[in-house]
A = this chain, B = another copy of it.
């Protein structure tokens, strides 16, 4: 791996662990085993390097999600596969994490890949829900966009619960909760 690549990969790791504000060029260079000069030769500065890292992370996450959501199975099974796919829960989401960073949110360029990735996955899930409705597998009253937002939020919020408690259990519980509602052969509520 060349120096430029190593810089991007180190930045991705640090952004995931510590966010944009908490990531210094110095830490990146140490992790990449490079000197100051290399970084400023390949990139204009920290924001430029972070942009490259964020774009790659976003792209990768999109591909991962698409691989699962575009896989085999009924609509329910594909959503289930997305929610239960293997995750390093306590590390959190490398894309979602960035939304808590004020400097990322303040930068149109940095926020764009984050927004696009989340929007794309949401659209994908929404389409699957609509497909399930057409097949009579989901109640016609469900709104694809709303269910997709709830599913994505369950994942993103699951990370919060898990990290707060120091255990992945709460993430799993949230996913089970949502799936039990989505799968319910009986109504959730009866009045």
A5 at the interface (CB under 8 A from B): no
Given A22-B21, A174-B146, A139:B74 Cβ within 8 A: no
* Most chain B beta-carbon neighbours within 10 Å: one of A142, A180, A181, A191: A181
Task: Give the number of chain A interface residues (Cβ < 8 Å).
Answer: 73
Interfacial chain B residues near A185, Cβ < 8 Å: 187, 189-190
Chain B residues with CB under 8 A of A139: 184, 186-190
Q: Is A32 an interface residue (CB 8 A)?
A: no
Set of chain B residues within 8 Å of A63, measured between Cβ atoms: none
Q: Tell yes or no: A165 within 8 A of B by CB.
A: yes
> Does A10 reach chain B (CB closer than 8 Å)?
no
Is A34 at the interface (CB under 8 A from chain B)?
Answer: no
Determine which of B76, B96, B115, B190 lies in contact with A136 in the assembled complex, contact meaning CB atoms within 8 Å. B190
Cβ of A43 under 8 Å from chain B: no
B21, B119, B160, B170: which contacts A21 (Cβ < 8 A)? B21
For the complex, what is the distance from the CA of A101 to the CA of B114, rounded to whole Å? 19
Contact of A177 among B19, B74, B137, B147 (CB under 8 A): B147
* A180 to B147 alpha-carbon distance, docked (Å): 8
Those of A88-133 within 8 Å (CB) of chain B: 92-93, 96-97, 99-103, 105, 111, 114-115, 118-119, 122, 132
Besides A153-B158, A153-B171, A157-B160, 17 more A-B contacts (Cβ < 8 Å) are A93-B160, A96-B164, A99-B163, A105-B166, A114-B164, A141-B186, A147-B181, A148-B177, A149-B174, A149-B176, A153-B178, A154-B157, A156-B161, A184-B187, A184-B188, A185-B189, A186-B187
